[in-house]
Structures are given as structure tokens and as C-alpha cells.
A and B are shown apart, each in its own frame.
Chain A
């Protein structure tokens, strides 16, 4: 078990190093000079040279890479070229929106998907299965911005239960902030839940065909008991894999929903940074996302080992 976890940790660390190299290299190759962008098209060559010097853009490549990595490790992410504020503050400000949003969406998605998937698998081939899988199909197919607009119209404009957009910040209390996040979270969760429900159903159905399910039935265990006690845990591995992938997506792939709800999240930050060649922000956010994915994957690997005893001895 320890060896298994240590190995996962090492793989995660190695991935971080490789990702940092790739991110750094790609942004070096990309066209567009940050100094030029900051000063505009009419800047004098002297001013440009001075700014480049000040930003450290004239230093050797390796030096700049190490400097950047050192900064990442000490959480000193540098200053944004466009906003002229520390990148750390910028990211932190967005993270308090994006992280809770992702967590709520993931929670919702799981809370919807597992019961639906289990229900469909237990009623395989019957009406309940067809209806819930039809609904899941629809959930995958509906564009989420359209669904988001529908939600805004119903709950914000018509019922006036929640605000239609914007984010008041956590300073004004937890409840107003949560109220602002609930609709975007639902809009994000729906397609994820639909995918997860289908995965849950097919994993369960496969497990229900296994020999040990028949053994449990031959012991006199009723169908329902066998489903919950024997099949579900064995079906969790593919479900956990998809869940891990979804969290990574929910953290950063939410730009459309952020725009619809006018939320100051990470997605919009990256998008703006890219269009403005604010490379230092892009680098930092991308590394943050890489780290998040690696942490989530580590947690997923950990949960595999908890679910399946066979993985605990493997190294």
C-alpha cells in the first residue's frame, strides 16, 4: 500500500516537472512580445528595451525557467503585465469563485448520476431504464449555455429566487455567495451527471453479469441486496475515473458558463490573459490546473486502492 502510494506520488511529481517544461517552452515559442504589448505599437525602441530588461526577458532561457519555477514553489508568481497586480492575488481572487463552483457542481453531478445509474441498471431493459437513459442522452445533448439561460429565465427572472448573474464575494456572508453559484453549478453539473449516469449504469450491468454475483444470489441474497452490497463497489472504478476527469474540467473548462452568469472565475481569467498576451498569468493558471489535476488523480488512485484490495499489494 505504501509503495503503491509512494509510486503514485513520484509519478505526480514527475508529471509536474514535465508539464512546467512544456508550459514554459510553448509560451516561449508563441508569437507576441509581452513588452511590446504592454507599451503598445507606438513604443520607442529604447523604452521597449528598458522594459524588457526590467521584466527579465533578456536573461538566458534556463535562468528564466529556474527563476519561474522557484517563484512557483514560493508562491511568488510575479506581476500581471496587464493588470500590474501580483498574479497570486489575481488567481486567489478567481479561485474563491471557481473552486467552490467546481466542488458544488461535482457534488450535484454525483448526487444525480449515481442514483439514476443504479436505478437504470437495476431495471435494465425495462421502462425505467429506457426513460432514465433517454433523459441522460438529452442531458448530454443539450448545450449547457442554453440550459443555463433556461435556468436564469426560470429561477432568476420568473421565480426571482436567485440572482441572474454576478458574484457578490464571500465577504457578505456565505448564503448570498452560494445563491449566486447555485444556478451555474446546476448548469455545469447536468451534462456531467448525464455522462456519469451512463458510465455507472454500464459498469454496474457488467458487474452484475459476473460469476460472484451468481454466487451471492445462490447464497439466498435478494437481488437488491446483491446490487448494493456486492455489485456497487466493484463498479466504482470506472465511475471514479470519470469523476476525476470531470473535476479537472469543471475547474477550468467553465468559461462559457462563467460568461453566461458573469462570474469572475478562472476560465475567464485565462481567456482574457491569452488574448492580451499576459503570459505570466497564463503560465501560472495553467500550472495551477496541472497541479489540481495531479492532486485529483492522486486522490482517485488512492480511492481505487480503498475500493479494490487487489491494488493494495501491487506496486
Chain B
């Protein structure tokens, strides 16, 4: 008999159907991947099993866990199950832990609650599980607070909480989405080991087909609250019989069609970064002694030619974004020079920078966060126009906005709408329209597709490629996702601890990395082809 058996599960929230007859089963010790794009109902399925759905949600159908009817169980019974027989790991490690409690308290709490163990015994067990998830006592005593830990370390604490009592079922909802690829691999390896050690069932929820393929025995593919396809991982993904499965797989490996890049070296460079250093003052040792400064960016030099597309890859915290802020003249380097079209950025005041800003624009990761929700699209897209020397009339402004929207595949009718009326992908198109309206020579894109679903991501990558070819915009693509770098850039800079440790043609570096940092990134990057091949070997 299955450990978890979901039959015809239907959930609606305030009358809006969220899940429409989901079937899913997990055997003891089995890993099942649940894949789908945002809004497909993956998380709601998981929360139903935990009975932690939002207030107004109504669930019907059957959810049987270990012989217990979950939908009919009392709240007391559910409290016994949660954390003891079913553990759950969440997406956002930065906010998943209570900031005012130590990690020891937070791990021991569940142990005490479920086993009735005394404080000392619970702490002893908390210590053991923290050791097990890779947080040794010497560096991570129980008295640490969450803010003293990095994102990856916090996710280990969350995993320790979920696995402390060796649950029969572990639910991991996008456990690595907020982490860089190297951390992702470490966390996934840890989950795999824990599941094997304790013969736990694992429900792994992810939007990343490669991750799921790599980890799961079986996959369930969801869309709009329905199961599209379900089956053994190897067969489902190698066959790709179902059209939606094929569509997902193709989108996640999508490479935009680009002509072979030109040779740039004969032109004058567009952007020259020379020996740039950025230091931040360290925490004071005492009132009188300053701490040693931290070097976020350490002696970085590179050039970008007009129309060249360059990737800046590296793990989170390596200094990528700090470097980008300095290039955009939002921050000044401690030392070194940055020139755009031959003009020095680092010494100019805001007024003198204005004509230069028109030539460099930015696209951020989260398009929604960078829009004022009370402004119409026309005003949002027109924002950079104040950088132009001449005044723009109302009619001309509308014309320019319409042209920019058209350029990114939106209609001029969209001008009078508000940001919330658009989907995530459309919003990213709006932010690209805003970036190109002044016809900049350089666009800095900071993880521009990592918040998007794979099919939307493929479209946005196409758009970037297209604008690069048609308008000759040069890109600096900041990303930790190597498939993005491979899809859209000619050259790559690998950054590690504030330094550029490797550079070259994107394909060369990613196929044959030389530096340790680049090797780590390449080895950790999920790859659907490789994952399917491995599954096929194992599952026949």
C-alpha cells in the first residue's frame, strides 16, 4: 500500500477552483517529483497534505496518509502528524526561521513537543541532527540566531527541523529555488541522503525539470490545477509523449537562434572596467578600532564592445551585483576606473552622468518590485525619457512608448494599464521596454529570467537575443544560471570572491572550465540531458 494516496483532490479558494481532481501516490522510500509552472497548484497540493491551506480554502476528494484520512482528521491529530510523520521544507530559507529564536530552540521545540523529551535530551537530539545536516557544533552552536547564518545554512536548519523525527514523508517545496547552483546541489545531495538513510518518502516540488529528473523515481506534471502526465521519470521524460511534457522540456533547454557573433575587437570598446575595487567597512572591533574592510569587488578589469553579449556568472555573494551597481553608476568604486564610450563614470557628479545614463539601462530580476504599482505602463516605460536632452511632448512620448512596447511584443493598447494587470512574463517585457526606450548602448540585466517560468523564460530569452541582433544593444547578463549564460551570451566572466577568475568564449568556458570556481558551477548546474541519461541507465 502507498504511504500517501491522493485521489480526485479538488481545492477551491473562495469559489475559485485551484486543484481539479488531482491523483498522486507516493510509496514508502520513494521520491516523487511534482513539476509545473507557477499557479499550477503544486504548493497547494503539498499544503493540503499538511492541512495548512489558507483559511477560505475548501478541499474535497481523498487524501490518505499511512491509513489516516487527512481531510477528515481532527486538528489535534494533524498536529501529531505534522513534524513527526510528515516533515516539510519550504522555498524561502531567509524567512522560514523565526528571527528571535535560536536555531537550537527551533529544532528542539518540535522534538520536545512530539516526544515529550526534556530540554537537555531534546537539545542533545537537536545537536545530532544539526551535525547531520552539515552544521557542526564548533561553528554552529545551538545558540546561533538565524540572522547569523547564510541562506544555504538556514535551509539546512529548516531541513533539520523537518527531518529531526525521521518522518515517513518529507515534502520539499522548491527547496533550492532561492539558492545558487552550488548550494542547490549540496542541499539536493543532503535531501537524497537523508531520504535514503531513513527510507522516507519524498515529495519534491520544483519548477525545474532537470532537478526533478535528477532526484525522482517518478514524476507528476501539473498544469492549471490538473495532472497532465504521471509516470516513471526515465520513461516520461525520454519519451515526452505528452505534448505539455515535451513543451516544458523544450522550453527548459531553449536556446534562442542567434547569428554567429561578429568580431568586436576592431571597434572601440563600449565599456572599459579597469582595476575596479569596492571595499565595505568591516564591523568595528571596538569603539575605537575599525574592523578590517571587506573587499566585495577585488581588482576587476574587462571590456565590452558594442553589441557584445557578456555573461557575468558566479555564486551568490561573489560580488556580481556590487560590480553591476558600479557600472550603472549607482555606487562608486573604492579604486579603479569605469569608462562608458570613453567617458569616465567614477568621478562625474549626477548632472554630468545624466547624458551617460541614457546609454546604459537596467533590467532587474523581479519586474514587479521595480514598478510603482500606482503608475500606468505609459509612465513606467517613459521614465528614462527625462535623460534625453530635449523636452518630449505628450504625443511624442506616447509614440515612443508605443514603439518600445511594440519592440518587446506588447501592444500600444497596454500603455494605459497598470502593472498588476500583466503576468510575470509580460511585466518583464515592460521592464525591457523601459530599458530600451532611450536606445541605450548597454543593458545590464541582473538575473532577468530567474523569476520566470520556463516557457516564459524561453520567450524572454528570445526577446533579448532579438533586441541584441536588431538594435545592436550590448548586454551584461548577471546570472548564476549557466543555461541562461549559454543561451544568450558570447563571452563569459566567472566571478569568485570578488575576483574574475576565468574568462573566455561562453561555450569554451562552460564546456571546459579551468578554474575551480568555474568547475564547481558547471558541475553543479542541473542539466536535463544529463539527468535523463542517468535516469535511463538506472531505470532501464
Name A's B-contacting residues (CB within 8 A): 3, 6, 125, 210-212, 214-223, 229-230, 233-234, 307-310, 313, 315
Q: Given A210-B95, A218-B52, are A234 and B82 neighbors across the interface (CB < 8 Å)?
A: no
In the assembled complex, which residues on chain A have CB atoms less than 8 Å from the CB atom of B84? Answer: 220
Q: Given A220-B83, A221-B109, are A212 and B98 neighbors across the interface (CB < 8 Å)?
A: yes
Q: Within the complex, what minimum Cβ distance (angstroms) separates A174 from chain B?
A: 38
How many A-B pairs have beta carbons closer than 8 Å: the answer is 80
Whether, in the assembled complex, B75 has its beta carbon less than 8 Å from a beta carbon of chain A, the answer is yes
Given the complex of chains A and B, what is the CA–CA distance between A315 and B113 in angstroms?
Answer: 37
Is the CB–CB distance between A234 and B110 below 8 Å?
no
In the assembled complex, which residues on chain B have CB atoms less than 8 Å from the CB atom of A234? Answer: 98-100
In the assembled complex, which residues on chain A have CB atoms less than 8 Å from the CB atom of B145? Answer: 309-310
Is the CB–CB distance between B100 and A215 below 8 Å?
no
Is the CB–CB distance between A219 and B113 below 8 Å?
yes
Of B79, B92, B98, B284, the residue contacting A315 (CB under 8 A) is B284
Given the complex of chains A and B, what is the CA–CA distance between A9 and B84 in angstroms?
Answer: 48
Whether, in the assembled complex, B73 has its beta carbon less than 8 Å from a beta carbon of chain A, the answer is no
Q: Within the complex, what minimum Cβ distance (angstroms) separates A38 from chain B?
A: 50
Is the CB–CB distance between B161 and A219 below 8 Å?
yes
Q: Given A220-B113, A222-B75, A309-B147, are A215 and B101 neighbors across the interface (CB < 8 Å)?
A: no
Whether, in the assembled complex, B114 has its beta carbon less than 8 Å from a beta carbon of chain A, the answer is yes
Of A220, A230, A310, the residue contacting B110 (CB under 8 A) is A220
Is the CB–CB distance between A212 and B109 below 8 Å?
no
Q: Mark B400-411, 1 if CB is under 8 A from A, else 0.
A: 000000000000
Q: Within the complex, what minimum Cβ distance (angstroms) separates A63 from chain B?
A: 35
Whether, in the assembled complex, B81 has its beta carbon less than 8 Å from a beta carbon of chain A, the answer is yes
CB-CB nearest in chain A for B52: A217
Of B75, B147, B161, the residue contacting A215 (CB under 8 A) is B161
Given the complex of chains A and B, what is the CA–CA distance between A307 and B162 in angstroms?
Answer: 26
> What are the 8 closest A-B residue pairs judged by CB atoms, nearest first?
A220-B83, A219-B83, A219-B110, A220-B82, A211-B95, A218-B88, A212-B98, A309-B145
In the assembled complex, which residues on chain B have CB atoms less than 8 Å from the CB atom of A223? Answer: 75
Task: With a 10 A CB-CB cut-off, give which of A211, A221, A229 has the most chain B CB atoms.
Answer: A211
Whether, in the assembled complex, B96 has its beta carbon less than 8 Å from a beta carbon of chain A, the answer is yes
Given the complex of chains A and B, what is the CA–CA distance between A229 and B106 in angstroms?
Answer: 11
Of A3, A6, A218, A230, the residue contacting B98 (CB under 8 A) is A230
Is the CB–CB distance between B100 and A308 below 8 Å?
yes
Other than the known A214-B96, A221-B79, A221-B110, what 8 A-B pairs have Cβ atoms closer than 8 Å?
A218-B82, A219-B82, A219-B109, A220-B110, A220-B114, A229-B109, A230-B98, A307-B100
Q: Within the complex, what minimum Cβ distance (angstroms) separates A1 from chain B?
A: 13
Given the complex of chains A and B, what is the CA–CA distance between A154 and B31 in angstroms?
Answer: 70
Given the complex of chains A and B, what is the CA–CA distance between A217 and B90 in angstroms?
Answer: 12
Given the complex of chains A and B, what is the CA–CA distance between A167 and B186 in angstroms?
Answer: 72
Q: Mark B70-111, 1 if CB is under 8 A from A, else 0.
A: 000001100111111001101010011111110000100110
CB-CB nearest in chain B for A217: B52
Q: Within the complex, what minimum Cβ distance (angstroms) separates B387 from chain A?
A: 37
Is the CB–CB distance between B79 and A222 below 8 Å?
yes
Q: What class of interface size applies to chain B in its complex with A?
A: 35 or more
In the assembled complex, which residues on chain A have CB atoms less than 8 Å from the CB atom of B482? Answer: none
Whether, in the assembled complex, B50 has its beta carbon less than 8 Å from a beta carbon of chain A, the answer is yes
Dominant secondary structure of chain A at its interface with chain B: helix
Whether, in the assembled complex, B287 has its beta carbon less than 8 Å from a beta carbon of chain A, the answer is yes
Q: Within the complex, what minimum Cβ distance (angstroms) separates A238 from chain B?
A: 14
Given the complex of chains A and B, what is the CA–CA distance between A108 and B359 in angstroms?
Answer: 62
Given the complex of chains A and B, what is the CA–CA distance between A219 and B98 in angstroms?
Answer: 13
Whether, in the assembled complex, B158 has its beta carbon less than 8 Å from a beta carbon of chain A, the answer is yes
In the assembled complex, which residues on chain B have CB atoms less than 8 Å from the CB atom of A221? Answer: 79, 83, 109-110, 113
In the assembled complex, which residues on chain A have CB atoms less than 8 Å from the CB atom of B80? Answer: 220
Q: Within the complex, what minimum Cβ distance (angstroms) separates A211 from chain B?
A: 4
Is the CB–CB distance between B99 and A218 below 8 Å?
no
Q: List 26 A-B contacts (CB under 8 A).
A: A3-B287, A210-B95, A212-B95, A212-B99, A214-B52, A215-B96, A215-B98, A215-B106, A217-B82, A218-B83, A218-B88, A219-B83, A219-B109, A219-B113, A219-B161, A220-B81, A220-B110, A220-B114, A234-B98, A307-B100, A308-B100, A309-B147, A310-B99, A310-B147, A313-B283, A315-B283
CB-CB nearest in chain B for A218: B88
Is the CB–CB distance between A211 and B96 below 8 Å?
yes
Is the CB–CB distance between A309 and B113 below 8 Å?
no
In the assembled complex, which residues on chain B have CB atoms less than 8 Å from the CB atom of A212? Answer: 95-99
In the assembled complex, which residues on chain A have CB atoms less than 8 Å from the CB atom of B83? Answer: 218-221
In the assembled complex, which residues on chain B have CB atoms less than 8 Å from the CB atom of A229? Answer: 109
In the assembled complex, which residues on chain B have CB atoms less than 8 Å from the CB atom of A125? Answer: 55
In the assembled complex, which residues on chain B have CB atoms less than 8 Å from the CB atom of A308? Answer: 99-100
CB-CB nearest in chain A for B287: A3
CB-CB nearest in chain B for A308: B100
Is the CB–CB distance between A309 and B100 below 8 Å?
yes
In the assembled complex, which residues on chain B have CB atoms less than 8 Å from the CB atom of A307? Answer: 100
Q: Within the complex, what minimum Cβ distance (angstroms) separates B324 from chain A?
A: 26
CB-CB nearest in chain B for A7: B287
In the assembled complex, which residues on chain B have CB atoms less than 8 Å from the CB atom of A313? Answer: 283
Q: Within the complex, what minimum Cβ distance (angstroms) separates A313 from chain B?
A: 8
Q: Within the complex, what minimum Cβ distance (angstroms) separates B227 from chain A?
A: 24
Is the CB–CB distance between A215 and B114 below 8 Å?
no
Given the complex of chains A and B, what is the CA–CA distance between A221 and B97 in angstroms?
Answer: 14
Of B92, B96, B287, the residue contacting A6 (CB under 8 A) is B287
Q: Within the complex, what minimum Cβ distance (angstroms) separates B275 from chain A?
A: 32
In the assembled complex, which residues on chain B have CB atoms less than 8 Å from the CB atom of A217? Answer: 52, 82
Q: Within the complex, what minimum Cβ distance (angstroms) separates B154 from chain A?
A: 10
Given the complex of chains A and B, what is the CA–CA distance between A310 and B97 in angstroms?
Answer: 13
In the assembled complex, which residues on chain A have CB atoms less than 8 Å from the CB atom of B75? Answer: 222-223
Q: Mark B431-443, 1 if CB is under 8 A from A, else 0.
A: 0000000000000
Q: Within the complex, what minimum Cβ distance (angstroms) separates B224 from chain A?
A: 24
Given the complex of chains A and B, what is the CA–CA distance between A141 and B109 in angstroms?
Answer: 43
CB-CB nearest in chain A for B107: A219
Is the CB–CB distance between A218 and B50 below 8 Å?
yes
CB-CB nearest in chain B for A231: B98
Interface residues in B35-59 by Cβ distance below 8 A to A read 50, 52, 55
Is the CB–CB distance between A214 and B110 below 8 Å?
no
Given the complex of chains A and B, what is the CA–CA distance between A6 and B483 in angstroms?
Answer: 51
Q: Mark B251-287, 1 if CB is under 8 A from A, else 0.
A: 0000000000000000000000000000000011001
In the assembled complex, which residues on chain A have CB atoms less than 8 Å from the CB atom of B100? Answer: 233-234, 307-309
In the assembled complex, which residues on chain B have CB atoms less than 8 Å from the CB atom of A210? Answer: 95
Given the complex of chains A and B, what is the CA–CA distance between A215 and B50 in angstroms?
Answer: 11
In the assembled complex, which residues on chain A have CB atoms less than 8 Å from the CB atom of B50? Answer: 218
Given the complex of chains A and B, what is the CA–CA distance between A125 and B92 in angstroms?
Answer: 28
Of A214, A215, A220, A233, the residue contacting B79 (CB under 8 A) is A220
CB-CB nearest in chain A for B91: A211
In the assembled complex, which residues on chain A have CB atoms less than 8 Å from the CB atom of B162? Answer: 218
Q: Within the complex, what minimum Cβ distance (angstroms) separates B114 from chain A?
A: 6
Given the complex of chains A and B, what is the CA–CA distance between A222 and B52 in angstroms?
Answer: 11
Given the complex of chains A and B, what is the CA–CA distance between A234 and B96 in angstroms?
Answer: 14
In the assembled complex, which residues on chain B have CB atoms less than 8 Å from the CB atom of A218? Answer: 50, 52, 82-83, 87-88, 90, 162
Q: Mark B489-506, 1 if CB is under 8 A from A, else 0.
A: 000000000000000000
Q: Given A221-B110, A222-B75, are A215 and B287 neighbors across the interface (CB < 8 Å)?
A: no
In the assembled complex, which residues on chain B have CB atoms less than 8 Å from the CB atom of A222? Answer: 75-76, 79
Q: Within the complex, what minimum Cβ distance (angstroms) separates A229 from chain B?
A: 8
In the assembled complex, which residues on chain A have CB atoms less than 8 Å from the CB atom of B109? Answer: 216, 219, 221, 229
Q: Within the complex, what minimum Cβ distance (angstroms) separates A5 from chain B?
A: 12
Given the complex of chains A and B, what is the CA–CA distance between A3 and B285 in angstroms?
Answer: 10
Given the complex of chains A and B, what is the CA–CA distance between A230 and B109 in angstroms?
Answer: 11
Given the complex of chains A and B, what is the CA–CA distance between A308 and B296 in angstroms?
Answer: 28
Given the complex of chains A and B, what is the CA–CA distance between A210 and B95 in angstroms?
Answer: 8
